Amino acid sequence: MAARPKARKRKAIAFIAADTSEAKAARDRLIARYGGVTPGKADIVVALGGDGFMLQTLHRFMNTGTPIYGMNCGSVGFLMNEFRATGLRGRLDTALSSVVRPLAMVATDRNGKEHTAFAINEVSLLRQSYQAAKLRIAIDGKVRMEELICDGILVATPAGSTAYNLSAHGPILPIYAPLLAITPISAFRPRTWRGALVPDRVEIRIEMLEAKKRPVNVVADNVEFKSVVDVTIKQELKAQSVIMFDPDHSWDERILSEQFRY
């Protein structure tokens, strides 16, 4: 007599929500339909909110191996799947996973204090006052731009290339491209410089010139440090988060669609 095939174990799902009435109502609705476990016991975490909440969740579960499946209950939702209460388990079974590796940022402020943070989307440097920032840019220890006068600059991963980077007219990068985008924000001099693409293995160092007169803040995703004098950025190969998308709306498809949007 043939043995019966083993029943496939149902994946344990944790539902977490942004601090909005819409996201919380969606969470309660899904828990009532599918049940739910605490995040520490979950095989998959379903995040309900917008892109900002998704970034927070990817940071929270970094290096745990737990994949994050987002459903949009916010305004933008580029990192999210469409919200539907029905058919969730089937969607999770067919979803495609992508690994994202963060940037590791080390910044020194004008008091000599060192700050560290990870950035999944981008590290951005922004002028703090009416004075334009004056920056020096080095790649792997070699100065590539002696002086850039601008409102700021950002270093974006492929995952973040469609966010702030795109708004600053930076290039869109396919998710698995081994590149980082360096994009100026309102460059004044040299006015024609549009930024650069660099291999993701390099170390980028940005030094603030005339830092006292022209104070600059640095932001790694949603973590900000004020009055920095130099910032070092490189990809952290030992850290990773896992994000899941429906196969008919994968990250690759989103990036292609964004590039042909008009």
| 30 neighbors 88 (Cβ within 8 angstroms) | yes
**Residue 126 annotated in ligand binding:** no
**Residue 2 annotated in ligand binding:** no
Tokens of 262: 């008009």
Interacting residues of 83 by C-beta distance below 8 A, sequence separation 6+:
26, 48, 71, 72, 73
Alpha-carbon distance 49 to 52, whole Å? Answer: 8
| 40 neighbors 119 (Cβ within 8 angstroms) | no
Alpha-carbon distance 66 to 92, whole Å? Answer: 13
Task: Give the SS3 label for residue 160.
Answer: coil
**Residue 151 annotated in ligand binding:** yes
- Vertex 163: Cα angle to 252 and 258 (nearest 5): 40
Q: What are phi and psi of 88, to 5 degrees?
A: -65, -45
51 is catalytic: yes
Alpha-carbon distance 228 to 225, whole Å? Answer: 7
**Residue 104 annotated in ligand binding:** no
**Residue 138 annotated in ligand binding:** no
**Residue 97 annotated in ligand binding:** no
Alpha-carbon distance 129 to 214, whole Å? Answer: 7
**Residue 111 annotated in ligand binding:** no
**Residue 159 annotated in ligand binding:** yes
Catalytic residue, chosen from 19, 28, 43, 51, is: 51
**Residue 166 annotated in ligand binding:** yes
**Residue 121 annotated in ligand binding:** yes
**Would you list which residues are annotated within the binding site?**
51-52, 121-122, 151, 159, 162-167
Residues acting as catalytic residues: 51
Instruction: Point out the annotated binding site for NAD(+).
Output: 51-52, 121-122, 151, 159, 162-167
